[in-house]
Structure 1
């Protein structure tokens, strides 16, 4: 059965001032639990590369996060408008009311207040429609902390995290997620080759990146990177591999990159220069 990628952009306000957790994606997940049967079903599964991605809460396109060197407490105010996104990979024939229920515009008990849904935008894509044509350059904006990990190696039981968007790690994380969730006919063969190919195709020409440590909860702090990078795309003769990399970078806008995408990490925006 064909698979579709459904992306929700939810805009809301709260009925009174509230304090929220230091990692605001927990608010996004709470609202989704109340309005999406499919989100509840997917989030309860225990599998690698879950077919779901959730963003933190945004205020004026800025994610609400608490960094380790800050003492501020995150608040939501009733006079302000907030938003977040959620992407789910579902069967093409799944009724839209299973993805999101629009029967009620109020969500009860969101950290002591009601969330009033102002707008729900729905974007649906098929895997076969993903891609960017033949741009000359790609800019990736990392909107929430990215957790890129090298694979385990010999005596090292766990891979280490990398604080720079190395193309092979970006594409490798996307191939793994793609192959775990796409239709069988859309499987990408030779993923290791495509990841290595990306290192030669995507050449960093400018960047503004910053290592960040964010507070996830009272006990856990997580380190990643945020910012942006611009890649010049080198001319190549392998058109099929080029198209696959472009499809994966488009896919990244829906599912994110790196680890823990279902909990708010690795959210990206991709733009092209032609």
Structure 2
């Protein structure tokens, strides 16, 4: 009796820890010997029920109109999924169309939120390789015209090669990012080395999320004329912008503003207050 109860408890625990793969996934399919930058695009629609999965796969040749859509069935075991494509739903019906039926063995990585693994064909010789997928809002279409260009794929490969996790985790990283001012010495616009680590963390978020920008706003204390301090606050904002550009952040992601001494956050009557006013602030836009 005790063994039966233990078995039931273990089964409940096992089932409760199973990964939910339901939803839409986008990614790349890399044939053996192919450079990742030349990998084709794959979209996967997954419906799961306990330990079974089914849905549609769509493979599009990179930067071309050739494609194939296939139905599949499969099984789930904890954080792994096995899929076999069954029937061809629709294809561009040319010799280049990726119509080979594939099987997939994929595993979800909790640390990166990628669904990764291997594929091989059941009807096309030597057609095998690697797949990398991430959760997305891209529906699997059976129509000939694609829903979007493959520009996202090129951005994804860049982020993936840098070791960034899937977009859903990068978004959480952005949401949890805590802003803090960067402080400057009197009449100076050079960034202190003590702030490099913080700026590098912000650069990672900016680099890992393609549609994210940051506003960089420079400030000064009240020493000096308004005209001089406007220029000094601009130099401070530009110094931060140049730092980010040197970290590989695209210039179009970097907006600057400068307020001079017009927006203090502390008194200008003390040394400590002036130090807090000599700063650059940030916000994501």
Instruction: Please indicate, yes or no, whether the TM-score normalized by the shorter chain is above 0.5.
Output: no
**Larger Rg computed on CA atoms:** 2
Shorter-chain TM-score bucket reads under 0.3
Greater relative CO, 1 or 2 (CA 8 Å, sep 6+): 1
